[in-house]
């Protein structure tokens, strides 16, 4: 037994700093000018600050954090793509070097040629790919398209193909960054089955993601990363509420600069300042009782020029299976033009036990365009002592004759 | 990076796939496809032969001038192809480097290998020309492969250095373009070295011959085409000068290897 307790990954006292050039162009002239002026020409940016943790063998380990928290850098350090400034990275067992799906895919080659190329990056020879080729194609459900050039594939098809190849990697540890973002519901279900299978086989999986529902569905433990440091290593449900809290407690305005993983967007002007759910105890993730009173409060912050603007609030209640259970909105109500706090309440919470997240949108009453759309800004947990069926309790009267 | 890993199974597989992909992509959509890598040096040779052989008559004193010229053109074509492809290789594969960990030298080697394959095909044409021209083969022809090895080592070393430097300084590609253009005329490819000796003296010719590519081309011509070819050893009996081109090759191989190794860990951040 003692052997199985050997960690798959040991990270100790890890530091990573990026040197970002002050000038955008990297030419010899700039270097010379900088040298003569005695400036380094670089701004130091500490991405990871003293990170230490261990991942057990066979564990499904999640890494979550906001944009810029350093989670992708951490993953790249694990994959030996980046060299750490200092610190220890110890990997026991073979590791799939894939950070993203479809690395090395070339749009000008056919899908078939890409399978061999991608396979080579995973360490498969031509003969070995020959053996698993049919499986890859049928799993990706792309039998009829393999002689097409990849550039004619939709992004969903590309991801399906890439995923089908990546899961053939016979390594002990798999690193994955936001892999589940694409693909239709059916394919996602297939992916989840593969994950369960990999987990059963005792492989170690590191998943970096924004999607809390996936974290709660699969992960055994979750590392919450914030501003380059470890906030906590905890259970998925706790991590999920910490993540939600991180997003809302950040007083800085949201970044609308068009990052890849947008979880918050909108035109600005009126922004969500704080979202809270009334509960008996002041925990990070409120625990509510089925059919109890429910009260959710949204506080907004108005920018100059938006003081008199009217807005609507739209909510989406999303359960752990990623299903939007209900989407109440205030479009039939007039808040007046100066309100800054909006409350949504229910006398009897109809949601069945489970974990829920709420997406909040502040919408311009005149144009219907969102000022601020905040995906899964808060989450809560519903408990019940009654037997439950379905997602919501719809009530109703029974009559017999 | 352990030396034993250089040709480990995984790296061999990857190298092979990269070379294949490179070939497929380069001639995709062109009707003559791969033939172009043969036609390009042949056309260059044909133009030069007409201009320098027929009009300027620089090669009248040289036995088998057409083969002599072709060999120089083919060697030079390989040298520019291998260094240019090597130079851009790391930056061109930036996407790969940012997302997957693998030995970076594979990329540079794969770029030089496709140039090497082209060289091999062009050598077949040289052999055909040699036969057509009725060149008398000397025993020295056995040395010919050695010069190809030397040329490959020199081109690969430069490719390693240039590719790593190009990640940091994007001026490198322009500098190299200019240097290659100058070096083309400073290398006795179009004109026989004897012409330099006659016009500018032996010292100038010796300086030109310090360039390893010049030394390689002249030695290769001597070994295969004609013993009339002037070599560095014919210009000076000073052994210390005679070994300079070889020392330059060795120096660059070591320097480029160390430089590349030092910087390769940070390609993923800087590329």
Per residue in A81-127, pLDDT (tens digit) is 999 999 999 999 888 766 677 778 888 899 999 999 988 888 888 99
In A235-308, beta strands by DSSP E? 264-265, 270-277, 287-289, 294-302
Cβ(A267)–Cβ(A380) under 8 Å?
no
Provide the number of structural domains found in chain B.
Answer: 1
Indicate yes or no: CB of A25 within 8 angstroms of CB of B16. Answer: no
Please tell me the predicted confidence (pLDDT) of residue A34: 67
Residue B247 inside a domain? The answer is yes
Cβ(A294)–Cβ(A277) under 8 Å?
yes
Higher-pLDDT residue of A35, A290: A290
In this prediction the pTM is 0.72
Kindly state the average pLDDT of the residues A247-269: 54
Chain A CB contacts of B168 under 8 Å are 26
Distances A293 to A279, A346, A347, A388 between C-alpha atoms, Å: 9, 6, 5, 18
Distance CA A163, CA A158 (A): 8
Distance CA A301, CA B193 (A): 81
Indicate yes or no: CB of B100 within 8 angstroms of CB of A121. Answer: yes
| Among B100, B166, B268, B270, the residue to mutate for chain A (most A Cβ within 10 A) | B100
Residue-wise pLDDT tens digits, A149-205: 999 988 888 888 888 888 888 788 888 877 655 567 777 778 778 888 888 888 898
Please tell me the predicted confidence (pLDDT) of residue A260: 32
**Which of A26, A100, A108 is nearest residue B28 as measured by Cβ atoms?**
A108
Cβ(A345)–Cβ(A292) under 8 Å?
no
Please count the other Cβ atoms lying within 10 Å of the Cβ belonging to residue B205: 23
Q: Report the DSSP beta bridge partners of residue A363.
A: A312, A370
> Considering only A74-78, A339-343, B29-33, which range has the smallest mean pLDDT?
B29-33
pLDDT-based confidence at A253, cuts 50/70/90?
Answer: very low
R_g (Cα) of chain B, nearest Å: 20
Tell me the nearest-neighbour CA distance from A97 into chain B, angstroms: 5
Indicate yes or no: CB of A103 within 8 angstroms of CB of B99. Answer: yes
Residue B8 inside a domain? The answer is no
Please tell me the predicted confidence (pLDDT) of residue B207: 95
Distances B219 to B17, B88, B146, B238, B248 between C-alpha atoms, Å: 35, 30, 10, 17, 16
Residue B7 inside a domain? The answer is no
* Burial class of B149 by CB neighbour count within 10 A (0 to 12, 13 to 18, 19+): exposed
Q: Could you tell me the two tokens for A29?
A: 């002239």
Residue B195 inside a domain? The answer is yes
Report the Cα–Cα distance between both ends of chain B, in Å, rounded: 20
Tell me the nearest-neighbour CA distance from A284 into chain B, angstroms: 35
**Which of A25, A80, A116 is nearest residue B17 as measured by Cβ atoms?**
A116
Q: Enumerate chain B positions whose Cβ falls within 8 A of a Cβ in A.
A: 9-10, 13-14, 16-18, 21, 24-25, 28, 95-102, 168-172, 265-266, 268-269
Residue-wise pLDDT tens digits, B143-178: 999 999 999 999 999 999 999 999 989 999 999 999
Please count the other Cβ atoms lying within 10 Å of the Cβ belonging to residue A44: 9
Tell me the nearest-neighbour CA distance from B100 into chain A, angstroms: 5
Q: Report the DSSP beta bridge partners of residue A341.
A: A299
| Among A24, A28, A31, the residue to mutate for chain B (most B Cβ within 10 A) | A28
A355: Cβ contacts below 8 Å, ≥ 6 apart: A216, A237, A240, A319, A320, A379, A380, A381, A382
A113 touches chain B (CB under 8 A): yes
Indicate yes or no: CB of A99 within 8 angstroms of CB of B95. Answer: no
A306 touches chain B (CB under 8 A): no
Chain A CB contacts of B101 under 8 Å are 79-81, 97
Residue B9 inside a domain? The answer is no
> Minimal CA–CA distance to B60: which of B180, B251, B243, B192?
B192
What angle do helix axes B212-224 and B65-92 make, rounded to 10 degrees? 140
**Which of B14, B100, B168 is nearest residue A99 as measured by Cβ atoms?**
B100
**Which of A25, A81, A113 is nearest residue B100 as measured by Cβ atoms?**
A81
Distance CA B218, CA B76 (A): 12
> Minimal CA–CA distance to A289: which of A352, A244, A356, A358?
A352
Q: Which domain holds residue B228?
A: 14-270
Tell me the nearest-neighbour CA distance from B222 into chain A, angstroms: 41
User: Residue B10's closest chain A neighbor by CA?
Assistant: A123
Higher-pLDDT residue of A332, B185: B185
What angle do helix axes A111-121 and B9-26 make, rounded to 10 degrees? 150
Distance CA A126, CA B36 (A): 28
Distance CA A76, CA A64 (A): 14
User: Residue B21's closest chain A neighbor by CA?
Assistant: A117
Q: Delineate the domains of chain A, giving CATH numbers in brackets.
A: 2-96+171-241 (3.40.50.300), 262-383 (2.70.50.60)
What angle do helix axes A155-166 and A111-121 make, rounded to 10 degrees? 40
A246 phi/psi in degrees, rounded to 5: -55, -45
Distance CA A104, CA B231 (A): 47
Residue B253 inside a domain? The answer is yes
Chain A CB contacts of B97 under 8 Å are 81
Residues of chain B with pLDDT under 50: 1-2
Cβ(A275)–Cβ(A248) under 8 Å?
yes
Residue-wise pLDDT tens digits, A214-233: 788 888 999 999 888 898 89
A317 touches chain B (CB under 8 A): no
Mean pLDDT of chain A: 82
Tell me the nearest-neighbour CA distance from A293 into chain B, angstroms: 49
Indicate yes or no: CB of A26 within 8 angstroms of CB of B16. Answer: no
**Which of B13, B24, B265 is nearest residue A123 as measured by Cβ atoms?**
B13
pLDDT-based confidence at A41, cuts 50/70/90?
Answer: low
R_g (Cα) of chain A, nearest Å: 24
A192 touches chain B (CB under 8 A): no
A391 touches chain B (CB under 8 A): no
Kindly state the average pLDDT of the residues A67-76: 86
Query: Percentages helix, strand, coil for chain B, rounded to the nearest 5?
Result: 75, 0, 25
A321: Cβ contacts below 8 Å, ≥ 6 apart: A213
Indicate yes or no: CB of B168 within 8 angstroms of CB of A97. Answer: no
The SS3 call for residue A226 is strand
Tell me the nearest-neighbour CA distance from B78 into chain A, angstroms: 26
Higher-pLDDT residue of A320, B266: B266
Tell me the nearest-neighbour CA distance from A374 into chain B, angstroms: 29
Distance CA A37, CA A231 (A): 41
Please tell me the predicted confidence (pLDDT) of residue A257: 35
Indicate yes or no: CB of B98 within 8 angstroms of CB of A25. Answer: no
């Amino acid at each position: 037994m003692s052997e199985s307790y050997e960690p798959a990954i040991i990270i100790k006292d890890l530091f990573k700093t990026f040197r970002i050039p002050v000038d955008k162009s990297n030419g010899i002239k700039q270097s010379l000018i900088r040298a003569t002026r005695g400036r380094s020409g670089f701004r130091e940016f500490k991405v990871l600050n003293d990170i230490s943790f261990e991942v057990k063998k066979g564990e499904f380990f999640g890494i979550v954090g906001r944009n810029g928290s350093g989670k992708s850098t951490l993953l790249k350090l694990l994959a030996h793509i980046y060299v750490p400034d200092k610190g220890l990275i110890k990997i026991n067992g073979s590791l799939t070097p894939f950070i993203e799906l479809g690395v090395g895919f070339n749009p000008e080659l056919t899908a078939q040629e890409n399978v061999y190329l991608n396979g080579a990056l995973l360490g498969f020879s031509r003969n070995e790919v020959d053996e698993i080729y049919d499986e890859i194609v049928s799993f990706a459900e792309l039998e009829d398209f393999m002689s097409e050039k990849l550039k004619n594939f939709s992004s969903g098809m590309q991801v399906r193909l890439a995923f089908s190849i990546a899961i053939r990697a016979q390594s002990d540890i798999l690193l994955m960054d936001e892999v589940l973002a694409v693909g239709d519901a059916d394919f996602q279900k297939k992916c989840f089955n593969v994950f369960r299978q990999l987990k059963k086989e005792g492989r170690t999986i590191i998943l970096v993601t924004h999607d809390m529902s996936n974290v709660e569905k699969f992960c055994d433990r979750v590392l919450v990363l914030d501003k380059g440091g470890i906030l906590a290593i905890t259970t998925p449900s706790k991590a999920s509420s910490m993540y939600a809290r991180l997003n809302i407690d950040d007083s800085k305005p949201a970044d609308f600069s068009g990052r890849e993983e947008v979880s918050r967007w909108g035109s600005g002007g009126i922004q969500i300042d704080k979202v809270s759910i009334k509960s008996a105890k002041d925990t990070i993730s409120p625990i509510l009782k089925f059919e109890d009173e429910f009260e959710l409060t949204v506080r907004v912050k108005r920018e100059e020029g938006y003081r008199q603007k009217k807005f609507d609030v739209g909510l989406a209640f999303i359960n752990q299976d990623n299903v939007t259970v209900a989407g109440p909105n205030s479009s039939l109500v007039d808040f007046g033009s100066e309100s800054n706090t909006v409350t949504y309440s229910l006398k009897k919470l109809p949601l069945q036990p489970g974990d829920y997240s709420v997406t909040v949108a502040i919408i311009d009453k005149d144009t219907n365009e969102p000022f601020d759309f905040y995906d899964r800004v808060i989450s809560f947990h519903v408990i019940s002592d009654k037997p439950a069926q379905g997602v919501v309790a719809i009530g109703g009267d029974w009559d017999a004759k | 990076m352990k030396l034993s890993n250089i040709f480990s199974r995984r790296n061999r597989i990857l190298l092979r796939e990269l070379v294949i992909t490179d070939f497929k992509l380069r001639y995709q959509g062109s009707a003559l496809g791969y033939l172009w890598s043969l036609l390009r040096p042949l056309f260059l040779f044909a133009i030069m032969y007409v201009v320098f052989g027929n009009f300027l008559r620089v090669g009248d004193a040289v036995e088998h001038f057409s083969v002599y010229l072709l060999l120089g053109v083919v060697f030079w074509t390989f040298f520019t192809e291998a260094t240019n492809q090597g130079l851009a290789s790391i930056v061109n594969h930036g996407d790969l480097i940012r997302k997957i960990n693998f030995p970076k030298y594979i990329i540079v080697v794969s770029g030089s290998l496709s140039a090497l394959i082209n060289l091999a095909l062009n050598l077949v044409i040289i052999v055909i020309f040699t036969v057509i021209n009725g060149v008398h083969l000397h025993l020295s022809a056995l040395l010919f492969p050695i010069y190809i090895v030397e040329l490959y080592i020199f081109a690969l070393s430069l490719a390693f250095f240039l590719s790593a430097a190009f990640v940091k300084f994007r001026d490198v590609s322009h500098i190299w373009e200019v240097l290659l253009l100058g070096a083309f005329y400073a290398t006795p490819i179009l004109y026989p070295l004897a012409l330099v000796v006659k016009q500018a003296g032996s010292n100038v010719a010796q300086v030109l011959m310090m360039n390893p590519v010049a030394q390689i081309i002249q030695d290769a011509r001597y070994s295969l085409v004609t013993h009339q070819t002037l070599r560095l050893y014919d210009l000076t009996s000073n052994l210390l000068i005679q070994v300079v081109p070889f020392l330059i090759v060795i120096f660059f191989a070591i320097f480029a290897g160390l430089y590349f190794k030092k910087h390769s860990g940070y390609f993923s951040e800087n590329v």
